[in-house]
Structure 1
Amino acid sequence: MMSDFDFMSALDMRRLVATRQVSPVELTKRALSRAEATQSSLNAFFVLMPEEARAAARQAEAAVMQGGALGLLHGLPVSVKDLIAIAGQPFASGSRAMAGNVAAVDAPSVERLRRHGAVIIGKTTTSEFGCKPVGDSPLTGITRHPWDLAKTPGGSSAGAAASVAAGITPFALGTDGGGSLRIPAALTGLVGLKAQFGRVPVWPTSATPTLAHVGALARSVGDAALLTTAVAGHDPRDPFSVAGPVPDLLGAVQSSVAGLRVAWSPTLGYARPDRNVVEIARAAAMALADQGAVVEEVETVFDGDPGNLWTAEFYAGVGTRLRGVLEKQRDLLDPAVADVLDAALAQEMRAYYESVFRRYALRDAMVRFFDRYDVLLSPTVPISSLAAGCDLPARLSDRSLVTWVFYTYPFNLTGQPAASVCAGLDADGMPVGLQIVGRSLGEMDVVRAAAAIERTKPRGYNLKQPVV
């Protein structure tokens, strides 16, 4: 049976907690109950933390009753992906080879969740080492879509997306090294927000340190902005961490898009999307014009597919970090991930540095592109759904494990802020994602465009009663 809390926004929960109309203990009890009831069907969680969550909820409730200052996330339940460290909790990164690993420290983003009063209920599933844009791993098995158990919620932040789309938590903390927030957001009708590279610190160091982001999955743009605001900010442990004040993302949610210069690109110049995906995403993009934005269609954004640049960088990091796992524990790995590691170790130094310099040229090209536009819109992924257990769509079998998604990985190479919002539903009732990309440090424009698109839709258009 569904509860009034299951699809309540985090912003509404926050208001009710602060005014003592609902208790953090009550919210946590419901989140844990829902997580446990759906686990056998969805498989969203790698580990639940009921005792820790209940203790944190009681502490949050006591703080409310004492009348002191409350954090941004005070008393709100949240989940954390198993690529992010929580002290004293398993830290397996979705791999059987790492199944006995326990984190010694909290990641900075987890420290900030605690500082702002959030209640962490558990760690969510991920594809192995975040290497696949779908929701399965040899360690945890298949994570399923709350709207249709035969479908994948996408990945690699699979469990995070499933937990939010199923109404377990109002938002979740995930990661994005090539689209791992935006891809599952698109496939489950959520908002996935990847802020500027370095805006949310990443530590302990990722296997892909120049690509990795920590970010938010939520059911609304406002909730994604709230969670991102709480975990953003400089941290000296991350050498790429952005210094200076955090943008007022919550303020951007209410901002007008009048005069915003918008480029809409159906393919970025190289993608092969389903026709229905383009039609639904285009309609959402063009609706910004009704709110005063200036929308222009641009077919070619990139001079060729930058997928090989992304794979060179991703493979170099993952391959180097995990070489020992491949050599000693290959039989424990997902075969598709083992193939990625093989390719990584076959890469020559000269070829790698050629890709590095081409990546810098790609960044320069994006600087010039964003002299003319404030945001770039495209489909988030080329499809609206994919069967659970599949690595990629059959018609895109000529593509690699990640590059079949086409649209997301370029903006990990450039580090620009990007989000996915639900553009609408296809004929089968499955969601279609629209990607919004801003210039470097341009999160404010991304959030205000995302919120404007959300305003063009009926309330709850991206939500659906889960099948479990």
Structure 2
Amino acid sequence: MSDLHWMTVAAAAKAIAARELSPVELTAALLARIERLDPRLNTFIRLDGEAAMAAARTAEAEAAAGHIRGPLHGVPVGIKDIMDVAGLPTTCHSKILADNLATSDAVCVAKLRGAGAIVLGKLSTHEFAIGGPSFDLPWPPARNPWNTDHHPGGSSSGSGSGVAAGLFPMALGSDTGGSVRNPASCCGIVGLKPTYGLVSRRGVFPLSFTLDHVGPMTRTVADNALMLEVIAGHDPGDPGSAATPRHHYAGGLDRDVRGLRVGFVQHFHEVDMPADPEVTAALEHVARTLQLEGAEVRDVHLPTLGEFAAVNRVILQSEAWAIHGPLLRDRPGDYGQLARRRLMAGAFFAAGDYVQAQRRRLEMIAAVEEALRDVDVLLCASSMDPACRIDSPADVERTYPRQARTPFNVTGHPALAMMAGVSVGGLPLSVQFVGRNFAEATLFQVARAWERAAGTDKKHPAIV
């Protein structure tokens, strides 16, 4: 246990329950690593170290008395700073909400605590989960631990960076146009956007009511399934929450993929938005590997990325304007430049644009549903490029829309992004798997088969 910072959630929880590892020892080791590395990574907006150590001492005493709260007992977690943590500000990485003290936990945070997790603090995000890596905000943007000159993806940027760097083994992110899966892709971790409505959004600052999701971010597929089992479930306080039976998401992790049908959406990265050749080669390698593992891989066609992006843009920006319009009118100068520009675009959509986008969205849901009748899982690109430099606004602007994540915010289907390889430049390449609604267990089964074959869970950035 010398490298406590690379312990998986499952291994740490098992060792703590067996009294082979102290929650105090684990938390102290992670806080020391955060103190050493976070000045270079800017992962935290607010580190709550004293409260974390107090919670660790409580968890240790409970474990000694034979009381294990749940499957995450004594394991630290980071929380994206658009989610309420009682007693801490929910700033959304913005001057606008710098003093916005939360009086209660978001439902997803409360579920993590109920399962025994220890909250380390609040993590960097793009401003209001939309801005981008901005340098005109009260806190600096997070950086990529594979190369700190590069972007970690967003908007759950601190979550992705911190998990990849070994600052904490799990984190919460949110995903409206890919904001869990983008950092997972850039930082080489596992990020899941669950089925729409599977995880409550109550206590999470909204961006788009139609498209918002909360999802787990971890270094392994098994940890992601474990975390999802804790945070999933119906919440009558969230109007978008789905009343669905509980599932055992880790149930298929030890199964192979023989007989499973995988639909490869090649036109996304070959025709609609030609990917970097390294990304294309990595995706083809994933498909070949799954074939060798016994899966049947066949070509699948969906609406174009351009169509998906247009629908996503109209719905997201219209709903974001409905949320931010009053503040933008009163305090425009307190927003960062990137967030202000992106949010104000929503003021120029007409009601007819929004209605037509919602109508087209239903057709797109039907198209993905039709494809998933013939296959069990879809395989496609996540990012079309490795992470760009963080200090090049032109590169960020060019590469940010070069992705295939927004289609599944539009349709609500579960989508998981993970490492597909490492570029010649030493940055992660990514792949995305997409499943049927509420079939996350199958998604994890396929993702684990790839992880097992490729050893992606053993690959970490060289940051020390």
TM-score under structure 2 normalisation?
Answer: 0.95
Amino acid at match of 1:302: P
Equivalent position of 1:240 in the other structure: 240
**Contact conserved, 1:126 with 1:135, CA < 8 A, in 2?**
no
3-state SS in 2 of match to 1:64: helix
Instruction: State the Cα deviation string for residues 16-72 of structure 1 (Å, max 9, x = none).
Output: 101101100111111111112222110000100112111111111111011124311
* Number of residue-to-residue matches in the alignment: 460
**Contact conserved, 1:133 with 1:183, CA < 8 A, in 2?**
no
Equivalent position of 2:348 in the other structure: 346
Alpha-carbon distance between aligned partners in 1 of 2:250 and 2:7, rounded to the nearest angstrom: 18
Instruction: State the Cα deviation string for residues 193-243 of structure 1 (Å, max 9, x = none).
Output: 111111111013623121111111111101111111111111111112122
Residue 323, structure 1, aligned to residue 344, structure 2: no
Structure 1 unaligned regions, length at least 5: none
Change (3 A) 1:274 1:452: same
Change (3 A) 1:133 1:443: farther
Residue 226, structure 1, aligned to residue 226, structure 2: yes
**Contact conserved, 1:94 with 1:137, CA < 8 A, in 2?**
no
Equivalent position of 2:307 in the other structure: 305
Amino acid at match of 2:248: D
| Equivalent residue in structure 1 for 2:414, among 399, 413, 417 | 417
Alignment of 1:255-270 (within 5 A): 255-268=255-268, 270=272
Amino acid at match of 2:388: L
Instruction: State the Cα deviation string for residues 341-360 of structure 1 (Å, max 9, x = none).
Output: 22101111111111110111
Equivalent position of 1:457 in the other structure: 454
TM-score under structure 1 normalisation?
Answer: 0.94
**Contact conserved, 2:176 with 2:213, CA < 8 A, in 1?**
yes
Alpha-carbon distance between aligned partners in 2 of 1:179 and 1:273, rounded to the nearest angstrom: 17
Alignment of 1:354-433 (within 5 A): 354-391=356-393, 393=395, 397=398, 404-433=401-430
Q: CA deviation at 1:412?
A: 0.6
Alpha-carbon distance between aligned partners in 1 of 2:2 and 2:422, rounded to the nearest angstrom: 25
3-state SS in 1 of match to 2:316: helix
Amino acid at match of 2:287: A
Alignment of 1:146-295 (within 5 A): 146-204=145-203, 206-268=206-268, 270-295=272-297
Alpha-carbon distance between aligned partners in 1 of 2:164 and 2:123, rounded to the nearest angstrom: 13
**Contact conserved, 1:107 with 1:202, CA < 8 A, in 2?**
yes
**Contact conserved, 1:136 with 1:389, CA < 8 A, in 2?**
no
Alpha-carbon distance between aligned partners in 2 of 1:342 and 1:9, rounded to the nearest angstrom: 42
Change (3 A) 1:219 1:392: farther
Change (3 A) 1:459 1:264: closer
**Contact conserved, 2:133 with 2:141, CA < 8 A, in 1?**
no
Amino acid at match of 1:32: L
Amino acid at match of 1:216: P
Q: CA deviation at 1:132?
A: 4.2
3-state SS in 1 of match to 2:433: strand
**Contact conserved, 1:95 with 1:137, CA < 8 A, in 2?**
no
Change (3 A) 1:134 1:196: farther
3-state SS in 2 of match to 1:309: helix
Amino acid at match of 1:46: I
Residue 142, structure 1, aligned to residue 144, structure 2: no
Alpha-carbon distance between aligned partners in 1 of 2:458 and 2:113, rounded to the nearest angstrom: 32
Q: CA deviation at 1:122?
A: 0.7
Q: Which moved more, 1:333-342 or 1:9-18?
A: 333-342
Residue 434, structure 1, aligned to residue 435, structure 2: no
Q: Which moved more, 1:182-191 or 1:303-312?
A: 303-312
Alpha-carbon distance between aligned partners in 2 of 1:140 and 1:215, rounded to the nearest angstrom: 24
- Give the share of equivalent positions with the same residue, in percent: 33
